[in-house]
Chains A and B, each alone.
Chain A
Amino acid sequence: MSILVNQNIRLLVQGITGNEGLFHTQQMLYYHTNIVAGVSPGKGGDWVLDGKVPVFDTVKNAVEVTDANASVIFVPAKAAADAIFEAADANMKLIVCITEGVPILDMMRVKEYLSTKNTRLIGPNCPGVLSPGECKVGIIPGNISIPGNIGIVSRSGTLTYEVLLSLYKAKKGVSTCVGIGGDPVKGMGFTDVLELFEADAKTDAVILIGEIGGNDEEAAAEYISRKMTKPVAAFIAGLSAPPGKRMGHAGAIIEGKTGSAEGKIEALRNAGVQIAEFPEKLAEMV
């Protein structure tokens, strides 16, 4: 079992004819992910990857023909917000935006708009979601993980792979690995994903990988101490990082003391979370 993505997904790839879109569509197909369509404006009617995936000009058109219910986005940063709006208006249940460098004002508008929709967004600037043995949406390497009962939620990309590899070496399996992305304004946060893991019958323990900045880890700590019954282990990157570049007085007024690695570690520890001193230790803790 898994959260968010499984073998029943009907996945559409926005930006399928670009270099990254095409390469990772191939990788997702190798993983037997059910990809039903691609979208690339101006290339409608083509087929890619030896005729395996039909390409449409618009998401609306692709959904009419293929009944896609989820989208993964590889379009350039300039077009990313538009791609998310398009997918949301076509009633995608899940949108995973891999694109990095999306302007923050665009994302704040997207986020406000999605609050009126029945759509979940993951990302942008994220590696996507992997349910080992079932489905891969995004760019997380599929060959370093086996199915199992550990849920992973992470703000980082390659650091997540590091943890996946150490679990793999310890022969421990993963239910679902969710990379929520590192941008300040994004779709699902730690707490949203923890709620899903808490409700998932096949997840018995959760690994949380955080980093300095923002207050998402602090919010997660509060949720864990109030609602979570499953054990959580965490690594927070950035203890050695130089003090962050502050955003005028306004940043200090809004974020107060939140944001430092020490503060996050303390909040999580107080919520009963085991803290790993370095990433490879997480595999011993769950």
Chain B
Amino acid sequence: MKLHEYQSKNLYAKYNIPIPRGRIASTPGDARQICEELGGTVVIKSQVLVGGRGKAGGIRLVKSPEEAEEAATQILELQIKGLPVRKVLIDEAISIKKEIYIGITNDRINQKPVIIASGNGGMDIEEVARKSPDKIIKININPLIGLRDYQVRDIALHIDLPRNLWRSLNDIVFSLWKVYVDSDATLVEINPLVITSENKLVALDAKVVLDDNALYRHPDLADLRDLDAEDPSEIAGRKFGVSFIKMNGQIGCMVNGAGLAMATMDVIKHFGAEPANFLDIGGGASSEKVAAALRLIIADENVKAILINVFGGITRCDEVAKGLVAACSEVQPRVPIIVRLVGTNEEEGKRILAGSSLIYVDSLVEGARQAITLIKESA
């Protein structure tokens, strides 16, 4: 789960990481008032959960409350990568001498936390990583021992930080590590961490991503989830405990298991069609869940056929069959549904499906071919 910049900054502030003075606004009038309170030049930053806000015109520097109101009006009308901007963060402007990058994330290659830093922070940090990897320092952290002082000194030396800021960097990096551990984050990032013209370190931007599997330990953070910022069908999927990602093809898919779900989509593509979605009903799915999943797929008007591929292990084929029959009698699907069911209680599942309009197939490849043929016939 991603946090917005302002939420991430609030979290950092609790750990005494220096951030600019600023507040969140959802109307141009509020933006004007906050600008007046802060005085002087401010930065107006769109709060959306995607990168590239600056390039999309979602970040503006303004010099007066009037300009702030006008800029906020424009930014609040923007859609950035398909996401509407509903809030803007108004921060005091900071004069910058140098931009530093600091991030902590899970290094899945080395299977432990890693801290990454660079003296060339800012928007082009990935470009720096590609072209001049020597300008990036990566240090793995032993998760049982935690961050050590010497590791921060290694960073300070590598990014050529003036000595009078080493203590300040140490405090910030240790705080960042604490945020990472205390909130079960999978990413905590400051880009840029700037040296101001007053020779202070300040976090100008903040990004936090939390581990969904650990949210049960952090109800306060889980409450920060911004439903406006997510695709409605993905929210609906989560409500029913299925994993759903909408795509642009014509063949809707329902599968148990993420790997098999991707393989099913791959087979559809291999035979020349495009999947309409990724949908994993997970293990041990109940008939209610199956019915909810089917409704989600049918809601997509592009869908011309549905391929259901269930390999019963924990999931029982009879439960899936019951869910399908119930959902079909309720929603009266307008497209053909092809079902492939094998594994636990397969015979019982087939028996339940026998009297229905569902098309039964024996293998995944046969199912994909059938779906494609039926689409061509109906076109």
Interface of A is mostly: mixed
Rounded to whole angstroms, the CA-CA distance of A158 and B245 in the bound complex is 19
Contact of A111 among B112, B209, B211, B247 (CB under 8 A): B112
B344 located at the interface, meaning its Cβ lies under 8 Å from any Cβ of chain A in the complex? yes
When A104-B186, A240-B265 are in contact, do A139 and B112 touch as well, CB less than 8 Å? no
B191 located at the interface, meaning its Cβ lies under 8 Å from any Cβ of chain A in the complex? yes
How far, in Å, is B102 (CB) from chain A's closest CB? 10
Number of A interface residues, CB 8 Å? 61
Q: Are B187 and A182 in contact (CB under 8 A)?
A: no
A146 located at the interface, meaning its Cβ lies under 8 Å from any Cβ of chain B in the complex? no
Residues in B with CB closer than 8 Å to A108 are 106, 111-113, 143
Interface centre among B104, B114, B211, B255 (most CB of A within 10 A): B211
Rounded to whole angstroms, the CA-CA distance of A78 and B216 in the bound complex is 9
Residue of A nearest to B263 (CB): A237
How far, in Å, is A125 (CB) from chain B's closest CB? 10
Contact of A238 among B184, B211, B266 (CB under 8 A): B266
Contact of A239 among B116, B129, B217, B266 (CB under 8 A): B266
When A240-B275, A247-B186 are in contact, do A103 and B213 touch as well, CB less than 8 Å? yes
How far, in Å, is A180 (CB) from chain B's closest CB? 12
B24 located at the interface, meaning its Cβ lies under 8 Å from any Cβ of chain A in the complex? no
Residues in B with CB closer than 8 Å to A127 are 313
Residues in B with CB closer than 8 Å to A235 are 263
When A112-B142, A237-B263 are in contact, do A103 and B211 touch as well, CB less than 8 Å? yes
Rounded to whole angstroms, the CA-CA distance of A234 and B270 in the bound complex is 16
Residues in B with CB closer than 8 Å to A252 are 126, 129
**Interface set, chain B 240-274, CB cutoff 8 A to A:** 245, 247, 255-260, 262-263, 265-270, 274
Rounded to whole angstroms, the CA-CA distance of A252 and B125 in the bound complex is 10
When A109-B144, A248-B187 are in contact, do A159 and B106 touch as well, CB less than 8 Å? no
Please encode chain B, from 311 to 341, with 1 for each CB lying within 8 Å of some chain A CB and 0 for all others: 1011000000000000000000000000000
A251 located at the interface, meaning its Cβ lies under 8 Å from any Cβ of chain B in the complex? yes
A83 located at the interface, meaning its Cβ lies under 8 Å from any Cβ of chain B in the complex? no
Q: Are A241 and B265 in contact (CB under 8 A)?
A: yes
Residue of A nearest to B180 (CB): A105
Contact of B209 among A182, A247, A255 (CB under 8 A): A247
Rounded to whole angstroms, the CA-CA distance of A279 and B267 in the bound complex is 9
When A212-B262, A240-B268, A241-B262 are in contact, do A161 and B311 touch as well, CB less than 8 Å? yes
How far, in Å, is A182 (CB) from chain B's closest CB? 7
Contact of B109 among A102, A246, A255, A279 (CB under 8 A): A255
Q: Are A278 and B365 in contact (CB under 8 A)?
A: yes
B103 located at the interface, meaning its Cβ lies under 8 Å from any Cβ of chain A in the complex? yes
Residues in B with CB closer than 8 Å to A258 are 109
Rounded to whole angstroms, the CA-CA distance of A84 and B103 in the bound complex is 29
Please encode chain B, from 79 to 123, with 1 for each CB lying within 8 Å of some chain A CB and 0 for all others: 000000000000000000000010111111101111010000000
Q: Are B363 and A249 in contact (CB under 8 A)?
A: no
Contact of A105 among B108, B181, B256, B365 (CB under 8 A): B181
* Sample of 9 more A-B contacts, CB < 8 Å, known A103-B184, A112-B142, A155-B259: A105-B211, A108-B113, A108-B143, A157-B313, A209-B259, A239-B269, A247-B187, A252-B126, A253-B129
- Interface of B with A (CB < 8 Å)? 51, 101, 103-109, 111-114, 116, 125-126, 129-130, 136, 138, 142-144, 181, 184, 186-187, 189, 191, 207, 209, 211, 213-214, 216-217, 245, 247, 255-260, 262-263, 265-270, 274-275, 278, 283-284, 311, 313-314, 342-344, 363-365
The 8 listed contacts between A and B (C-beta, < 8 Å) are A113-B144, A154-B259, A157-B259, A158-B255, A248-B105, A249-B126, A250-B104, A250-B116
5 tightest A-B CB contacts, nearest first? A156-B259, A158-B257, A103-B214, A159-B259, A250-B103
